[in-house]
Structures are given as structure tokens and as C-alpha cells.
Structure 1
Amino acid sequence: MTSTHRAALIDGKSIAVKMRAEIAQEAGALAAEGWQPRLVSISVGDTAAAELYVRNQQRSAESAGVQFEARNYDASISMEQLVGVLQGLNADPRVNGIIIQRPLPDHIPVKALQKAVHPLKDVEGMHPASIGNIVYNDLALGPCTAVAAVEILKTLPLTLEGLDVTVIGHSEIVGKPIAFLLMGLGATVTVCHHMTRSVAMHSRASDAVFVAVGKPGLVTGDMLKPGAALIDIGINRVDTPDGPRTVGDADFQSCAEVAGWITPVPGGVGPVTVAILMQNAVLATRLQKEHYAAQYANTEV
């Protein structure tokens, strides 16, 4: 007997369109006050891998009223030179956000570069200060993918207080921040990783499962509680008889037969992540405007 149940597909694109319309209003208001939100994207060396992301970001920025400039530097640029470039952007009041595209050449450690971005311009939410703030439930500029994944869960008719959630994957920029964000919303969170004895035991007991590991087909339908929400953050390129395809970390077919809601890959978390990047750009602009106003306020009576 085959199951006729199919999970409701979570449409990340339509969530992102709605978000961008709201962001564009806010960006317009800031521009009218002389603070046009502006992002600068930095890529180094061969840009083929990052090109798609940059194009998506550029398109999304344009529809959200955010100016976008893509800069590419030669692979031979030294770490010192690149830090110098970032310091220049940090000091430039016309630049409100800096994005560092990955991958980077081996001689440029991504963490050191992220530290060189001023926290007020860290629209990706990757600076150690931005990540650390999440522990304090201060969500000013959170890491985009983690915030996007949690935003998607918020669109579902589930009460987050007391919700049992399993997060599979504990990376610094996705898994861990998701766990902290969910705890801040009152969920009960289990975090699984490669040393977890039985991931299925935890995921089967959960009302929502997030997966961000980078292994296609890792989560299968028998690992889910019937009716649970599955937020798939994985992006993997796999070869199929019909050519290369992009898939997530979940085996979509078997999971869709058990889950209540599921994010497709592509078209799920991805578009919302880019929308959060724009939301962060506008928020960063507002924070900088307030920072400048406080710094240069007329103190004379």
C-alpha cells in the first residue's frame, strides 16, 4: 500500500518576495534621509564558484532598494592588502555592508578576514561579535542562513514555545546559531553531529528537524515523526543520469511522504537567506546612521 500523503512544500521564493517588498520600503525611507543602503561584495581569484551567488545577491539587492557593487581582486593579492581594502570600506560612510564571497584562495583564511569587517558593517553576521551576540539573544545582525532557516519555521502554524526541535549539524555559522535562535524563541533543542550515536532516535521524536551537514540523502523519511517540519539547508551538487543536479541533505521523496512541511532544494532556504542579507543591509545602514548621529551630535545647548 503506498501512502498518498505529501508534505506541504515551503515556498522560499514567495517568502523572500514578501520580505523584499518590506525591506524596499525601509531602504527607501533611509535613502530619503540621505542614507542609501549600499553593499560591496568582495571576491578573490577565480569567481566561477561564487558567480551565481553574486548574481542572485545583485538581483535581490536591486529589488530591495539596496545598491550593490561587486569587486573582484586578483588571486595573488596578499592578506595584508585585502585587510587594507576592508579597512578602507569600514571607514567609508557610503558603504553600509561588506560581503566576503567564498571560496577564498588558500593563503587567505576566511575567519581572519571576517574579523577585519567592522561589526556594524557585518551584513553576513559572520563576525565573532555577531555570532556571540546570539548567545545573549541580541539578534541585530545574525548569520543569514541560520536566521533564514528559523524565519521559515516561523511562517508555519506551529507554536515555537516548547516545540521539540532537532538540529543536525553543529557548524559555527549555521547549526549552532540555529540552536541558539530556537532556544531564544522557547523551543527545546537537541543538536546532533557526527559523534551522535543515533540521530534518528532524536529526529523521530521532534516536531521540526533542521539539517545542515553537506551530505546528500542523509535524512530519510523513516527518521521523521509523521507531520514534522523539515528545513533542509544542505546544498550539494550530485551527478544523475540526467546530468548534474542540486539537492539538499534530505532524501526528498521519502521525507515528503512523512513530513508535514518540507523545504525544496533549490527554492527553499536559499532565497530567504539572500532576503535576510538585504534585511541585514538595511538594518546595518540604520545602525550606522544612529551611530553617526550619536557620535557627531550637536552637544551645544
Structure 2
Amino acid sequence: MALKNKVQSVVVSVWRNNALFLSCSRTISTFATGFDNKILKSPSLVSLDIPDVWSSNSAGYSESSTYKPAREHTARVIDGKQIAEEIISNVANEVTRMKKTIGKVPGLGVILVGERKDSLTYVRNKIKACEEAGIKFKLTEFSDSCTEDEICDAIMQFNVDQSLHGIIVQLPLPRHLNEEKIFDVLKLEKDVDGFHPMNMGNLAMRGRKPLFIPCTPKGCVELLIRYGVEIMGKKAVVIGRSNIVGLPASLLLQRHHATVTIVTALTANPEEIAREADILISGVGVPNMVRGSWVKPGAVVVDVGTYPIEDTSCEQGYRLIGDVCYEEASRVASLITPVPGGVGPMTVAMLLHNTLLAAARKYNFV
């Protein structure tokens, strides 16, 4: 009987904690909205929730596009770097206002495992951006051979550090490490990468809003909105279903009322499916996989993939290319993101924005 009572106590405790987080996620629009519209163009997810009303001609026949690109056609480039700089500048203004108003600044803790070239580049960019925005930055580094317990201990130290409002673990991790175990340790209210199951769940459910939207998909949609791309009612194809990009990107596009198809490594006809997309997003890290023949004329192409290739002419000895064969796709698409300079800078900008949101919630700063 004592054991049964103890179990019931634990269950009630967990339920109460979850209920608190759910309540927080439902009412989150009452916090930190004073500055949010100054920084992002993306609307609140809950404001997008409208009922599905099927009309009698919803499935009516529509002729295929007759768009024919000119021989010299070149897609307009989506300048993620420029937009990210604007967003970071706006975040910096709010950080300055927070410091003057309440004497606090947002803080971000980062855990880096190993010496992957791309991960090192991303972390350097995050440090630089935090410095520009006035956000405190704390980095803990581990070797490739570290254990899960070492990483979990570092996360728990960040969890209790009152000066840190956001925590991220730079991905990917070495194969011997269990990501699920590691992320289970991270406090929900500091999960600025948006990978916690409750954040993902609330992203998927209409009527709910996650505490944080994953940074890369959030950046992709912000780019689409700022470039005037209509999402509602359009066909979107997402190549890849990772927890970092593919899955949350598909969920977020659905919340914006796109008709979404996910292409996986097992999809039998990926080229044919991709060619149906009005909006094509790829994030699998396979260089030049998406050829020009995969792109519907006039489509919007968002390349999330990054792959380092050796290049002695570059200062770092390598350069990054994406999933999309840029030279081919740019002759067919209407809009396209470059690699680098497209989605990458936006991911960093969204991370800073999420960190600002985390601090604003903690201090009830509007």
C-alpha cells in the first residue's frame, strides 16, 4: 500500500508539472509580445488556427502549370544573411532595453562535443552573434570520447545557473551518445532549440503553442514570409524527416496551412514528388542531391543542407555546399536560398530570438 501511494504521488506530481507547462504554452501569447512583432514577421501560431471547411469543389481538377522559364532565367536569391543581421540588431535593441529596465540580460549555454568542422563553424557564429546582441554566452566543450553522464552533468549545471535562460547541445553528437537521454535532462523552459517532446507536441497540435519553435524551421518560414511567399494552400515538400529540421518544418508548414508531403530515404519516387512542390525544403546533408529536374518551374527552394568539402582557397580549408545543386535549380526556381548565406544565419538569429523570449518569460519582461 505504501508503494502504491508513493507511485500515485509521483504520477500526480508529474501530471501537475506537465499541466503547468501546458498552461504556460497555452497562455504564452500574453508574455513577451511587446517586442516580438518588432523582431519577426511570423504571426502567432494560435492566431493561424482556423477550422477546416471543405467545399464541394475542394478536390476539383486544376490544369498543371504552363510556366516556362526563359533560357536566361535566374532565380531571385533569398538573402538570409541580410535578414538575420536585421533580426539580430532588433534583438540587441531589446536586450539593451531589458538591461536598462530591469538590469538583466539573456544568457545562453552551449555544449559542444567533438571537433566537427561544421559544428565548430556554427558555434563560432553563435558566439559572434551573442556578442553583437549583448547576450551572455557560456561554452562547455567535450572530446568525441566523452560519456553521456559528463554531458548530462554539464546540462544540469546549466539548468540551475540563473544567468542562463537558454541551453543548447550542438548537434549532431557522436554515434555512441544517446540523444534522447541527454535531452531528457534539459529543462523545458530553457530548451531554446525547441527539441523537447512537449515543444514538438505543442507545435503539432492546433490550439497550442510551443514554448520555442525549433530554430531552423522557424528561420525558414520567417524567410518565406519576408519574401512574400504565400504558404496557405500551397503544396510544400520537405525532404528529410529529422527531429532537427524535417519533422518540425513539416509541422510548422502545416500550421501555416500548406499541404505537406515528406520525402524520406525510402521514398520510391522522390524526384517526381519534389517536382510537385510550390515550396521545396531540403535538409538531409547530401551534397547536390536535388537537381534542377527535381524543381517545379517557379517553385521556391529552401536549402537547409550543409556539407563541408575541402577547398584550400578558403581560409578555413573547406567550404560549405547544400543539398540543392544551386546552378541547376536557380535556372528553374523563382526564389532560392544559397549555401552559405541562406538558412544558416537565420538559424542563429532564431536562436538568439528564442533566448530573448526565454529571458523575457522568466522576468515577465514586455
**Using the alignment, how far apart are the partners of 2:143 and 2:342 within structure 1?**
33
Map of 1:21-40 to 2, 5 A cutoff?
21-31=89-99, 32-40=101-109
**Using the alignment, how far apart are the partners of 2:173 and 2:325 within structure 1?**
30
For the residue of structure 2 that corresponds to 1:70, the secondary structure is strand
Structure 2 counterpart of 1:169, from 229, 240, 243: 240
TM-score by length of 2: 0.74
What corresponds to 1:254 in structure 2?
328
Task: Tell me if 1:182 matches 2:256.
Answer: no
What corresponds to 1:298 in structure 2?
none
Query: Deviation digits for residues 216-265 of structure 1, max 9, x if unmatched?
Result: 11111122111110000000123579785321001111100000000000
Paired residues of 1:5 and 1:258 also in contact (CA < 8 A): yes
Unaligned runs of 5+ in 2: 1-69
What corresponds to 2:287 in structure 1?
216
> How many residues are paired up?
291
Of 97-106 and 31-40, deviating more is 97-106
Measured at CA, do residues 196 and 288 of structure 1 come closer, stay the same or move farther in structure 2, by a change above 3 Å?
Answer: same
- The alignment's C-alpha RMSD in Å is 2.4
Task: Tell me if 1:286 matches 2:355.
Answer: no
Report sequence identity in percent.
Answer: 35
TM-score by length of 1: 0.88
For the residue of structure 2 that corresponds to 1:68, the secondary structure is strand
**Using the alignment, how far apart are the partners of 1:258 and 1:48 within structure 2?**
32
What corresponds to 2:66 in structure 1?
none
Task: Tell me if 1:5 matches 2:73.
Answer: yes
Structure 1 counterpart of 2:86, from 10, 15, 18: 18
**Using the alignment, how far apart are the partners of 2:202 and 2:346 within structure 1?**
22
Task: Tell me if 1:201 matches 2:272.
Answer: yes
**Using the alignment, how far apart are the partners of 2:282 and 2:93 within structure 1?**
33
Measured at CA, do residues 218 and 73 of structure 1 come closer, stay the same or move farther in structure 2, by a change above 3 Å?
Answer: closer
**Using the alignment, how far apart are the partners of 2:302 and 2:147 within structure 1?**
39
For the residue of structure 2 that corresponds to 1:130, the secondary structure is helix
Paired residues of 1:130 and 1:142 also in contact (CA < 8 A): yes
Unaligned runs of 5+ in 1: 292-301
Query: Deviation digits for residues 88-146 of structure 1, max 9, x if unmatched?
Result: 22122211111212354554322221221101111111222222221125143111112
For the residue of structure 2 that corresponds to 1:162, the secondary structure is coil
Structure 2 counterpart of 1:62, from 105, 110, 131: 131
Q: Please state how far the C-alpha of 1:56 moved relative to its aligned partner.
A: 0.5
For the residue of structure 2 that corresponds to 1:176, the secondary structure is helix
Query: Deviation digits for residues 46-100 of structure 1, max 9, x if unmatched?
Result: 4765322221001111122211122224556543343233222212221111121
Q: Please state how far the C-alpha of 1:30 moved relative to its aligned partner.
A: 2.4
- Aligned structure 1 segments of 4 or more residues deviating by more than 6 angstroms: 240-243
Paired residues of 2:200 and 2:210 also in contact (CA < 8 A): no
**Using the alignment, how far apart are the partners of 1:48 and 1:268 within structure 2?**
19
Larger Rg: 2
Measured at CA, do residues 124 and 250 of structure 1 come closer, stay the same or move farther in structure 2, by a change above 3 Å?
Answer: same
